[in-house]
């Protein structure tokens, strides 16, 4: 990201969110919200999978040091594995291990390998939700979490994206997000990024659902003050930009967990399998 783009984006954000001058993030920052919740679930003995990790663009290209610290899970847990179908994952600096996976092939991990799986803006790219959800469930330990963030299918950006063929997305994003590199643009499917999709593929027979919407500032605004103002004015609870979801099966030792529903941003935050009978629930943080 060039310094000019950073300065211009910061000026635009500061016009609506003056707090951006203190730490380079707004009070509605979706990345801060998502990774704060993930950090609350971490434990030092955990094995974590970053599913669809790519090259870790925000860890290398991001300009907010606080965000980078939150997003860096390596060193906070026993092991972080990053996997992706793109070989760029091999350069991901946020993982202890990197693995290239194959589309529609079983994930190359034994059953019950991970305590927590992160999928940050990945679910909207999944073409086969039945297969992928089954594989994620297979490799997740009992008592483990799946934490995912994905665009709300009905937000303005998603609707615009679905109206444009995937072959033109890279060209469009050079205009919408000029700081974004072409290697970080991937085809979208929008088959696993609605509340209904989450309930269907991570059902209540296995998971509790804590999916919620989060109100974040627009991130696609062409570095334009006018476009930013337009998106701010046209957001609504229905067209919220992202989904934060969480699902798990409760145990007798679980307390109630209430997550507020707000406007624009939906993120799929976490999904948790129950511990085996008699096991202590460790993730009661």
Between 252 and 159, name the one with better pLDDT.
159
CA distance to 53, 81, 89, per residue, from 97 (Å): 12, 5, 10
pLDDT digits (tens, 9 = 90+) for 50-59: 999 999 988 9
Res. 11 pLDDT band, cuts 50 70 90? confident
pLDDT digits (tens, 9 = 90+) for 205-224: 888 778 887 777 766 555 66
pLDDT for residue 221: 57
The percentage of the chain sitting over the pLDDT mark of 90, rounded to a whole number, equals 38
Q: Is the pLDDT of residue 113 over 80?
A: yes
Q: Is residue 113 part of a domain?
A: yes
Q: Is residue 280 part of a domain?
A: no
Q: Is residue 285 part of a domain?
A: no
Q: Which residue has the tokens 């399998």?
A: 273
pLDDT for residue 251: 38
Res. 145 pLDDT band, cuts 50 70 90? very high
pLDDT for residue 272: 57
d(CA 14, CA 157): 22
Q: Is residue 88 part of a domain?
A: yes
CA distance to 85, 137, 160, 266, 271, per residue, from 103 (Å): 7, 17, 26, 26, 23
Res. 169 pLDDT band, cuts 50 70 90? very low
Between 114 and 262, name the one with better pLDDT.
114
pLDDT digits (tens, 9 = 90+) for 61-93: 887 899 999 999 999 999 999 999 999 999 999
Res. 260 pLDDT band, cuts 50 70 90? very low
Q: Is residue 125 part of a domain?
A: yes
Q: Is residue 215 part of a domain?
A: yes
Q: Is the pLDDT of residue 240 over 60?
A: no
pLDDT for residue 267: 54
Please name which of 108, 213, 82, 105 lies closest in space to residue 155, comparing C-alpha atoms.
Answer: 213
Q: Look over the chain and give the mean of its residue pLDDT values, rounded to a whole number.
A: 75
pLDDT for residue 257: 28
Q: How many domains does the chain have?
A: 1
Q: Is residue 278 part of a domain?
A: no
Full-model pTM: 0.76
Residues 154-177: what's their mean pLDDT?
55
Q: Is residue 161 part of a domain?
A: yes
Cβ atoms of 145 and 270 within 8 Å: the answer is yes
CATH number of residue 111's parent domain? 3.40.50.150
What residues make up the domain containing 55?
Answer: 3-272
């Amino acid at each position: 990201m060039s310094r000019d783009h950073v300065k211009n984006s910061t000026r635009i954000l500061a016009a609506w969110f003056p707090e951006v001058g203190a730490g380079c993030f707004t009070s509605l920052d979706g990345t801060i919200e998502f990774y704060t919740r993930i950090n609350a679930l971490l434990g030092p003995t955990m094995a974590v999978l970053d599913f669809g990790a790519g090259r870790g663009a925000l860890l290398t290209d991001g300009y907010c040091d606080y965000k980078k610290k939150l997003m860096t899970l390596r060193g906070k847990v026993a092991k972080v594995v990053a996997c992706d179908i793109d070989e760029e994952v091999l350069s991901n600096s946020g993982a202890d291990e990197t693995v290239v996976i194959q589309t529609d092939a079983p994930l190359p991990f034994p059953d019950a390998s991970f305590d927590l799986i992160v999928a940050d803006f990945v679910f909207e790219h999944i073409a086969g939700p039945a297969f992928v959800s089954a594989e994620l469930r297979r490799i997740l330990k009992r008592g483990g979490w799946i934490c995912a963030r994905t665009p709300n299918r009905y937000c303005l950006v998603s609707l615009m994206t679905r109206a444009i063929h995937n072959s033109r997305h890279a060209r469009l994003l050079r205009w919408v997000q000029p700081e974004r590199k072409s290697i970080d643009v991937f085809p979208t499917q929008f088959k696993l990024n609605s509340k209904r999709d989450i309930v269907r593929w991570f059902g209540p027979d296995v998971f509790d659902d804590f999916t919620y919407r989060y109100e974040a500032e627009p991130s696609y605004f062409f570095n334009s003050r006018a476009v930013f103002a337009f998106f701010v004015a046209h957001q609504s609870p229905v067209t919220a930009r992202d989904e934060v979801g969480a699902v798990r099966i409760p145990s007798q030792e679980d307390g109630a967990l209430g997550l507020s529903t707000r406007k624009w941003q939906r993120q799929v935050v976490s999904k948790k399998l129950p511990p085996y009978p008699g096991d202590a629930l460790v993730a009661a943080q």
